[in-house]
Amino acid sequence: MHTVIRTYSGSGAKELFALLETRTAEIESLMRSVQGFVSYTLARTADGGFSVTTCNDKAGTDESVKVAKDWIAMNAAGTAANAPSISEGTVILHVK
């Protein structure tokens, strides 16, 4: 399995997460459509938030990054949120 973490902070990040919170059903459906989807978490921080996506392989997490970027461009461009910092890696342990 492979995981990607997208961290949003700085300009527009709080506004982006306020919007995401109102669209959780849509976001869930979008992420579940990613090939090889395993899990998705969206969390708020003091200055924005982060998402954690786990898929069966890197191709899935790469797709999730593109899907998220495209959704934000189409639905949240008005927040003017900075691009996220992205961390990714191979899963060592995944507990459900």
Strands (E), the chain: 2-9, 37-45, 48-55, 85-90
Name 83's Cβ contacts closer than 8 Å, sequence gap at least 6: none
75's CB contacts (< 8 A; 6+ apart) are: 19, 23
- The candidate with the shortest Cα–Cα distance to 72, out of 90, 49, 46, 45, is 49
77 domain residue, yes or no: yes
Domain count across the chain: 1
For range 8-32, the mean pLDDT: 97
Report if residue 36 sits inside a domain. Answer: yes
**Which residue range(s) make up the domain with 51?**
2-90
Residue 96 in any domain: the answer is no
**10: domain CATH number?**
3.30.70.100
In a domain, 95, yes or no: no
Whether the full predicted model's pTM is greater than 0.85, yes or no, is yes
Is 49 within the bounds of a domain? yes
Is there a domain that residue 62 lies in? yes
Tell me the pLDDT tens digit for each residue of 46-92.
999 999 999 999 999 999 999 999 999 999 999 999 999 999 999 99
Say which amino acid occupies 35: Q
